Structures are given as structure tokens and as C-alpha cells.
Amino acid sequence: MENAALAPQDIEPADLAHLERAIALAQAARDRGDHPFGAVLVTAEGVVVEAMNTVNTGHNPIGHAETNLVYDSGQQLEVAQLAGSTLFTSTEPCAMCTGAIYWAGIPRVVFALSEADLGAMVTEQSGVPTLALPSREVLAHGGRVVEVVGPVALPAATEVHLEFWD
């Protein structure tokens, strides 16, 4: 069952700003030749770490924005900082990235476009299905609670994928 999309005004303005930044990073990733995904991690103290997809430019099949962000955040931050952080991402984390978020101890995720909506666009355009497993479903099997907020109805989150997956 898919959650209904939240309106942008239904989330905190600070959360919305970070989400819009994640979408801007997705566009930047696309512009440089990577898949259109971006993500931002923000700690309780306001430390910000950003990452983009690097599947093409990094020749890394698992170089998703969130996996890259979890890795970079782990290198730069303390475990306690991760435990108080929120990860914002332009599109709902895939099953692999959701696993990475879980293992990092990140307690909160906010995403714009849903995996289901992405999956519909990708399959229609390329014929190749996504890994159709909602992040909430992955996290429901975990031993710690991870709050998931989304989808958030931001047109830019859809637009960044348009005509990319042909």
C-alpha cells in the first residue's frame, strides 16, 4: 500500500529546503552524466553532508546517492551524530540504500518522489523494472525504528527524471 503524497506545506520549512536541495543535486548528477538522484544528510547540530549518484562517472553500480551519502557521512561524522540525523533524498531510497541507512543508524528519512512513481516512469521509458520494494517495507523488518516521511509532492522531483530513462 502506498502512502498518499504530502503537500510541500505539510512538512517543516527546513525539511522542505533540504529536500529541494536534494532534488537540485539530482539535477546536477544528471547534468554531469549520472543517474538523476541526490541526497542530503543533516545532523541535529546542523552539519550538512551532500552526495550525488556516481553510477556512471564513478563506474560504480552501487554508487547510489544515498549509499554514497551514508559512506561519506560515516567517514566525516561520529556515530552519535548519525544517530541524530535526517537523510533527505530526491527519490525514495531503493532496498539497497534503505539497508545502508538502516546499518548507519540514521533514524529519519524524508523523500520526495516515491519508488512506485519512479518505477512507473522507468519501466515505461526503458522497459527495465526497478527494485520495487518500498523503504517502509524494508525497514519494517529491522530491529530499530526509522521514521519515513514521504512522498512529498514536488513537481521538480518528477521533472528531473523526465526523458532520462529512455
Site residues for Zn ion per CB under 5 A: 64, 94, 96-97
C-alpha cell at 65: 546517492
Nearer to Zn ion, 70 or 97 (CB): 97
What's the min distance (Å) between Cβ of 93 and Zn ion? 6
C-alpha cell at 135: 523503504
Compute the distance between CA of residue 47 and CA of residue 85 in angstroms, rounded to an integer: 9
Alpha-helix residue ranges (DSSP H) falling in the chain = 13-31, 65-76, 79-82, 95-104, 115-126, 135-139, 155-159
Specify whether 2 is catalytic. Answer: no
Nearer to Zn ion, 43 or 135 (CB): 135
Q: Within 10 A of 48 (CB to CB), how many other CB atoms are there? A: 12
Q: Which of 20, 50, 66, 115 is catalytic?
A: 66
What's the min distance (Å) between Cβ of 13 and Zn ion? 27
Compute the distance between CA of residue 38 and CA of residue 28 in angstroms, rounded to an integer: 8
What's the min distance (Å) between Cβ of 160 and Zn ion? 15
Nearer to Zn ion, 16 or 94 (CB): 94
The residues assigned a catalytic role are 66
